[in-house]
Amino acid sequence: MSSDDAHQSPIFVGVNGAQGSGKTTLVSTLAEMLRQPPHSLSTIVLSIDDLYLTHDLQSELAASHPSNPLIQHRGQPSTHDLPLALSLLSDLQQGNVTKIPRYDKSAYRGKGDRVPREEWAEVNRDRGHKTEVVIFEGWCVGFRALPREDLVRQWEGAVREREKGVYVGRLGWNKLENVDFVNEALRRYDQLTDQLDSLIHLDAEDPMFVYEWRSQSERKLREIKGSGMTDNQVVDFVNGYYPAYELFTSNLRRGTFDEGKGRQLRLVIGRDRRVREVVKM
């Protein structure tokens, strides 16, 4: 048997957390720990943000659904390149030499575009050091679509709350067909989620923290680089994502995997991003 035949598939660890919840900090620490003795595991970090559609394909998607504000820019399920993601995961699984896509969020004045392939990093070239752990992070990694009747029930509830003036989220401001489009697109992401061996969920005690966290990072950008979103721009920006947190977080809290205990870790974090509770599921 050749050494390639003996290749063992890497372990795929998903990391889900709202924007600004501390995913990058967690995954870089985790990757570094795994690379060091006594583990000494060849570990790569993959972000779903690097798998967004190219600028051209995103523009086509937006133009083909002009009345859906949720998909006019990158972010929601449907705005990632699933065929690219699936072929990448398959290559990693098989230990093939492959390149890791990269996305530049600053291209096209912040609209973003994929970086040319020649600039992607290559992995698995060295037969003796095949990837053993893949950490796959992103704000929607591990999310599962809702059965349509649940989606409709949640959306109707949000609309009723909005009419009574007690509503704090964003879901109820959207048309059902728009959130339905995202939910149906997410169903296709099962092909990615089903390849995960385990998932770490950074679960904000209150998902509304995301507005504050984003404001903090934009304020820092303004200080360092002289440009960054104002607080009002942050509210508009996060509004575009927020319905997904409302829809898909409770499902994730129940567990993303049907089978196998001990595959999911829920870290409940407070406003200061410190862990308040650890739940092994």
Ligand X SMILES: Nc1ncnc2c1ncn2[C@@H]1O[C@H](COP(=O)(O)OP(=O)(O)OP(=O)(O)O)[C@@H](O)[C@H]1O
Q: Which of 9, 11, 19, 54 binds ligand X (CB under 6 A)?
A: 19
CA dist., res. 159 & res. 174, Å (int): 9
What minimum distance in Å lies between the beta carbon of 214 and ligand X? 7
Nearer to ligand X, 24 or 59 (CB): 24
Q: Which of 23, 73, 114, 144 binds ligand X (CB under 6 A)?
A: 23
Name the closest residue to ligand X (Cβ).
22
What minimum distance in Å lies between the beta carbon of 24 and ligand X? 3
Residue 135: HSE in the Cβ half-sphere, 13 Å Cα cutoff: 23
The backbone torsions φ and ψ at residue 114, rounded to the nearest 5 degrees and listed phi first, read -75, 140
What minimum distance in Å lies between the beta carbon of 25 and ligand X? 3
CA dist., res. 229 & res. 220, Å (int): 10
CA dist., res. 210 & res. 29, Å (int): 22
Stretch that binds ligand X, among 21-29, 100-108, 128-136, 145-153 (CB under 6 A): 21-29
By CB under 6 A, is residue 125 in contact with ligand X? no
Nearer to ligand X, 164 or 225 (CB): 225
By CB under 6 A, is residue 21 in contact with ligand X? yes
Range list of H helices, 189-241? 190-193, 209-225, 231-239
Stretch that binds ligand X, among 12-20, 85-93, 108-116, 257-265 (CB under 6 A): 12-20
By CB under 6 A, is residue 24 in contact with ligand X? yes
Identify residue 236 by its one-letter amino acid code.
D
Nearer to ligand X, 132 or 218 (CB): 218
CA dist., res. 250 & res. 240, Å (int): 19
Q: Reduced to 3 states, what is the DSSP secondary structure of residue 258?
A: coil
By CB under 6 A, is residue 22 in contact with ligand X? yes
- Which residue bears the tokens 């003795």? 37
By CB under 6 A, is residue 20 in contact with ligand X? yes
Strands 43-47 and 133-138: parallel
By CB under 6 A, is residue 255 in contact with ligand X? no
Give the chain's length. 281
Residues at the contact surface with ligand X, assessed by CB under 6 A: 17, 19-25, 139, 273-274
